[in-house]
């Protein structure tokens, strides 16, 4: 019996000793961004220490209930208590200072040093602070206020969004009636790594829940060496991330002028190895003009899982049902006289955009070795849309699917050199049927809306694109790095006309025969990129870069439904950009800045040609033509200064900011032919030497962010847009305008679990008349105004942390 007791005691003592001395694993992450913190000092046990690696990981001798403390530069000291030696001990750290350029990381690079300071290009990155300065629902206010050289417009309250990056983005859209969404082209847009841009290069954003976006990254200029057919640049959107180590449920409610309502219900789960975000959003708006109401329903699911040190996965699913009314563009006369009644032809046709979509993607990363890894994502999108305008009704059913796979490599070459690179492929296919209808008077309700009439077009298009790319960065002594890469893109479009008309195929050989099948390929579009970067004292960098990109025509450019003709002579646009710049932080990291000078040259520039109706009161139809060269020269600057940044005292932070862009954009050798207004003759148009339409020569923004340590916060912004031509002949010009917006709020956590954020804001405080979108080369109807009176919004966000 005594022997058994002694054996039992021995086993127990051994077990306790083993549990005390066994190795356990911990991880330290940024509380706000969730990214790993490297180089943090870890203390545990009897004055034992460790340091986190590049993945924020550390190992320690585990003992149940022991406290592990961590410290890192620019972070409040953190700690964690061991509950189970088999689990990863997750410790989150709260930043003590505003992020400077040495710490803000970007994803679109071949450089292993992800900090902005080491990137030889102009890249803008927005976080929650910038996105939520306003109501955070539409994104254009955040883009236009914070990123010089980039403009975001929207055709309705929350649909028809377009990007203009350094002068690219205006003046080219599809034929009226078939591609009536006026979608963004030239830039590639991604959401959580999934392409929003379809296989043709068209970006439809009606269904994107911008209210759930927590991060934006914009690459300015041709980006073919990493993203294929991205002649203007790239926009990476990321949904909000669950806080590491926390589980919460939340309910947000917002109300505003003109019937604005937004409700969001959220579940967030964050652990050491995984995260899950599930939210549902409902958004409504009555509109400040007749027939401009909007309703939207969103569902977003985003999850990540780290199986082990080698393998991680992520999954995204999004569903949206979006309906936005349109009342048409205003003429200059209507806009100048504050006649916001809209275009009667739009209202009579019940003009609208209804988009129902489902997007899904799965990503997998595998680290074969410390220096070699692969990330592969597969994705699919299905959309059902119906839109109507003054030109008629269009149904479109596109289905997109594809893959993006990259191999990342990193290797030291001796003691002073390091070579890193990314090589991969992105392939995508779209199958889309588009049917156009005339609209006719409803005989049972002649004073009501028009209804769908006879079919006038039926096309089925198959679009395929494949981009192969590689880019490498050589880090050299004296913090000099050289980056070089190349991308090769191919695109094929097959267009089938399924609208058979007997007269189109007459037996008479002397009559016009309209083909029912058309195909076109653009292969071997080579996009090189080379850049050099020099970092000085880890505070300032200077760089120079050269890059190319392409933009191929989309299927709707080839077919003009009103005339039944094929537009077969289009060539891809070519974009070439030269850029020099500097960025850095000064004055003990209080002042951060970015300055860039660039020259972007676009040849074979496609432009829209508008043919007015017989009465010259509206646009009858449009078509696209290669016009010539667009030479864009510009300067962009961003400055931010942190006056106060303290975790003690009344004021927590006070940060003013300023940004400005000067654009000297001109047409060169810009000639093409078009029909005259009577549609009886061909005339030559020459825009050479004219100012590029749609881009204000000067944009200026200034603002300030203020926060206290007891929860009160506020911000105010001022935005100026210079006069701008909206026709390429420079005969029509929109006036300059300025906007002043402000917001105040209170954020506090009660009882360690319940978080409250209440706020109130005002837009257009000075009651300025301004345009929300300006249609280029479409006269007489060109203006889409924003509210010309002060309008308000406010809300309450509640979150319970378990």
Average pLDDT for the chain: 88
On whether residue 320 sits in a domain, the answer given is: yes
Number of H helices, E strands in the chain: 6, 48
> In the structure encoding, which two tokens stand for residue 753, read together?
């679990």
Q: Are residues 83 and 204 in the same domain?
A: no
The answer to whether residue 505 scores a pLDDT higher than 80 is no
The candidate with the shortest Cα–Cα distance to 726, out of 684, 782, 666, is: 782
pLDDT in tens, 747-774: 999 998 999 999 999 999 999 999 999 9
pTM for the complete prediction? 0.88
Note down the domain range covering 27: 20-93
On whether residue 6 sits in a domain, the answer given is: no
Q: Are residues 490 and 606 in the same domain?
A: yes
On whether residue 253 sits in a domain, the answer given is: yes
The answer to whether residue 218 scores a pLDDT higher than 70 is yes
The pLDDT of residue 245: 83
Q: Are residues 731 and 762 in the same domain?
A: yes
Question: What CATH number is given to the structural domain containing 319?
Answer: 2.40.170.20
pLDDT in tens, 533-557: 999 999 999 999 999 999 988 877 7
Q: Are residues 152 and 207 in the same domain?
A: yes
Q: Are residues 706 and 672 in the same domain?
A: yes
The pLDDT of residue 178: 26
Give strand pairing partners of 578. 546, 599
On whether residue 104 sits in a domain, the answer given is: no
On whether residue 9 sits in a domain, the answer given is: no
The pLDDT of residue 180: 33
Q: Are residues 86 and 140 in the same domain?
A: no
Q: pLDDT band at 675, cuts 50/70/90?
A: low
> In the structure encoding, which two tokens stand for residue 186, read together?
């030239």
pLDDT in tens, 353-412: 999 999 999 999 999 998 999 999 999 999 999 999 888 999 999 999 999 999 999 999
Q: What whole-number distance in Å separates Cα of residue 259 and Cα of residue 285?
A: 5
- DSSP string covering 286-348, please? --SSTT--EEEEEEEEEEEEE-SSSEEEEEEEEEEEEEEE---PEEHHHHHTT-----HHHHH
Q: pLDDT band at 175, cuts 50/70/90?
A: very low
H/E segment holding residue 143: helix 140-146
The pLDDT of residue 613: 60
The pLDDT of residue 359: 95
The answer to whether residue 211 scores a pLDDT higher than 70 is yes
Cβ atoms of 58 and 51 within 8 Å: the answer is yes
How large is the C-alpha radius of gyration of the chain?
A: 28
The pLDDT of residue 404: 95
Q: How many domains does the chain have?
A: 2
Q: pLDDT band at 174, cuts 50/70/90?
A: very low
On whether residue 682 sits in a domain, the answer given is: yes
Please state the rounded mean pLDDT for residues 67-84.
Answer: 87
Q: Are residues 607 and 707 in the same domain?
A: yes
Q: Are residues 484 and 618 in the same domain?
A: yes
Look at 619 and 27; give whichever has higher pLDDT: 27
On whether residue 10 sits in a domain, the answer given is: no
């Amino acid at each position: 019996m005594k022997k058994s007791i002694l054996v039992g005691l021995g086993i127990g003592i051994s077990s306790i000793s083993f549990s005390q001395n066994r190795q356990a694993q911990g991880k330290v992450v940024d509380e706000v961004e969730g990214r790993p913190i490297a180089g943090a000092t870890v203390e545990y046990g009897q004055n034992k220490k460790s340091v986190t690696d590049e993945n924020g990981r550390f190992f320690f001798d585990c003992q149940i209930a022991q406290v592990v403390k961590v410290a890192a530069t620019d972070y409040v000291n953190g700690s964690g208590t061991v509950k189970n030696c088999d689990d990863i001990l997750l410790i989150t750290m709260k930043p003590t200072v505003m992020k400077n350029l040495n710490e803000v990381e970007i994803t679109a690079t071949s450089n292993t040093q992800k900090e902005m300071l080491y990137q030889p290009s102009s890249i803008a990155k927005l976080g929650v602070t910038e996105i939520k300065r306003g109501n955070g629902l539409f994104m254009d206010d955040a883009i236009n206020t914070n990123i010089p050289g980039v403009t975001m417009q929207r055709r309705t309250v929350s649909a028809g969004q377009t990007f203009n990056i350094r002068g690219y983005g205006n003046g080219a859209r599809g034929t009226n009636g078939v591609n009536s969404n006026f979608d963004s082209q030239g830039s590639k847009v991604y959401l959580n790594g999934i392409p929003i841009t379809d296989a043709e290069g068209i970006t439809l954003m009606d269904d994107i829940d911008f209210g759930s976006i927590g991060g934006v990254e914009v690459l300015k200029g041709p980006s073919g060496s990493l993203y294929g057919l991205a002649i203007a640049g790239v926009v990476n959107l990321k949904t909000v991330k669950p806080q590491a180590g926390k589980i919460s449920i939340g309910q947000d409610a917002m109300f505003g002028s003109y019937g604005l309502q937004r409700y969001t219900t959220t579940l967030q789960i964050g652990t050491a190895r995984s995260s899950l975000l599930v939210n549902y959003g409902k958004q409504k708006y009555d509109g400040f003009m007749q027939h401009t109401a909007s309703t939207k329903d969103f569902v977003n699911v985003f999850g990540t899982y780290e199986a082990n040190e080698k393998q991680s996965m992520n999954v995204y699913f999004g569903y949206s049902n979006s309906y936005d009314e349109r009342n048409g563009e205003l003429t200059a006369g209507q806009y100048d006289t504050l006649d916001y009644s809209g275009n009667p032809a739009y209202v009579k046709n019940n003009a609208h955009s209804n988009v129902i979509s489902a997007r899904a993607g799965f990503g997998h990363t595998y680290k074969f070795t410390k220096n070699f890894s692969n990330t592969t994502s597969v994705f699919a999108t299905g959309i059902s849309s119906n839109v109507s305008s003054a030109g008629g009704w269009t149904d479109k059913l596109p289905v997109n699917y594809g893959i993006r796979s990259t191999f990342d490599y990193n290797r030291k070459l001796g003691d002073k050199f390091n070579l890193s690179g990314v090589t991969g492929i992105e392939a995508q296919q779209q199958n889309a049927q588009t049917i156009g209808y005339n609209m006719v008077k409803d005989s049972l309700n002649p004073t009501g809306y028009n209804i769908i009439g006879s079919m006038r077009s039926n096309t089925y298009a198959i679009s395929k694109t494949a981009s192969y790319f590689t880019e490498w960065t050589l880090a050299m002594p004296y913090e000099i790095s050289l980056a070089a890469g190349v991308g090769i893109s191919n695109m094929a479009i097959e267009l089938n006309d399924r609208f058979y008309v007997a007269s189109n195929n007459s037996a008479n050989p002397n009559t016009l025969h309209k083909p029912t099948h058309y195909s076109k390929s653009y292969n071997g579009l080579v996009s090189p990129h080379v850049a050099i970067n020099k970092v000085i004292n880890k505070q300032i960098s200077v760089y120079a870069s050269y890059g190319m990109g392409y933009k191929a025509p989309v299927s709707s450019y080839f077919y003009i439904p009103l005339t039944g003709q094929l537009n077969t002579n289009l060539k891809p646009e070519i974009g070439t950009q030269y850029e020099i710049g500097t960025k850095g932080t000064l004055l003990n990291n209080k002042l951060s800045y970015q300055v860039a000078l660039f020259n972007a040259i676009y040849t074979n520039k496609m432009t829209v040609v508008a043919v007015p109706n017989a009465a010259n009161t509206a646009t009858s139809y449009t078509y696209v033509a290669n016009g010539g060269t667009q030479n864009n020269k510009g300067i962009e600057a961003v400055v931010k200064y942190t006056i106060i940044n303290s975790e003690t005292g009344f004021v927590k932070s006070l940060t003013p900011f300023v940004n400005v862009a000067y654009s000297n954009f001109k047409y060169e050798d810009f000639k093409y032919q078009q029909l005259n207004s009577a549609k009886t003759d061909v005339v030559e148009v020459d825009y050479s030497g004219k100012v590029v339409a749609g881009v204000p020569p000067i944009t200026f923004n200034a603002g300030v962010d203020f926060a206290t340590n007891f929860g009160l916060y506020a911000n105010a912004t001022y935005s100026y847009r210079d006069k701008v031509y909206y026709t390429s002949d420079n005969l029509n010009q929109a006036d300059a305008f300025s906007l002043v917006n402000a917001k105040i709020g209170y954020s506090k956590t009660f009882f360690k679990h319940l978080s409250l954020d209440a706020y109130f804001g005002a837009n257009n405080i000075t009651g300025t008349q301004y345009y929300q979108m300006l249609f280029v080369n479409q006269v007489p109807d060109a203006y889409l105004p924003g509210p010309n009176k002060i309008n308000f919004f406010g809300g309450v966000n509640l979150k319970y942390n378990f």
